A and B are shown apart, each in its own frame.
Chain A
């Protein structure tokens, strides 16, 4: 069980909504905390908001499990900001969740719940 959760992303699915959104926000580049929550809010049209407590709790957990890593900030005027980067393992998890959702959407299409 323990080993599975370290090597097979499927064992971790489905992801919580917050976690998946964070992974999505980091998929196209490094971001600092506040930038992640802003990105999530914008990309969902304001329907998903990550409060700072939720955000950093999830980030801490993801760091502990090596889904993401912390990298040196290149933003000289705000040293407090720490940047986060998706690891390969984190990317695999995000992909696994995305394809899980994709297959669900395909089923929904075949049942004519969505336009083909």
Chain B
């Protein structure tokens, strides 16, 4: 099952030519600098903007296609849209806001109580929007969009106007949302932490064009793509908690064909976790060192090396059996280790430098 989007539109200053296909269900993050056309995709998908050409297909169902004249107005299109500013109706209570779309939609699978529980907004139902915090408002806005029984949930930088405390308050609800409802989500952002926690698929957009798309772990480790060229770049591994060692205060996780030890986790064995491994924390070695505090020595193979002249460093992409790591090292290190494409290499990763994210 898949979501496929095609969009062509000519603006006075820029031409957009977007096409991508990603698997569903799951969260597809549209990532790129502001002005690159991410929000245009959202506007076109929701029907608020009519582009020169646009075709959107979800799981084989054609939701919009200008070529064959399928172009419903937003009010009949059933696309859930969550704006950056929550846009709750100020003259209605939270409950009335939530039911606004529900009352106007054909009966669907999304239940009122289910959404209220999922987003933890049961205590807010009688309140007015202006008495809510920014995070609460955004949760209500998400619930309102979900209850309109959409075919596709579009989120246009939903956390951009929140401070980091509010952001981390709302993040658990978003990760729950991902798994609870079998609904494809298109999520626009330019915040890397949101990408790391939420994205299943990535679509990188620059100046109206798709410069790369695919599963997040793949895209995050591609040193020839902008995600890996950032100062805070890091690889992502989708892991399973394999074992807890309470005596040594460590947990073992498996994913991407690697085994990694991290400080003891409070999570059941078998549960899923995302590990983010920052590129600048990964040390490369030719042979295993001895007498070292390190727990994680991961064997891999050099796949690609991309010089980053501005930071006087080289980004090394290391292929694992079913994933990839990236490491930022100096050009001198490349020479000393005699690294080249396809050579085996060991990646040394401190347990404490691994970021463990939700599932």
- Bound pair: A and B? no
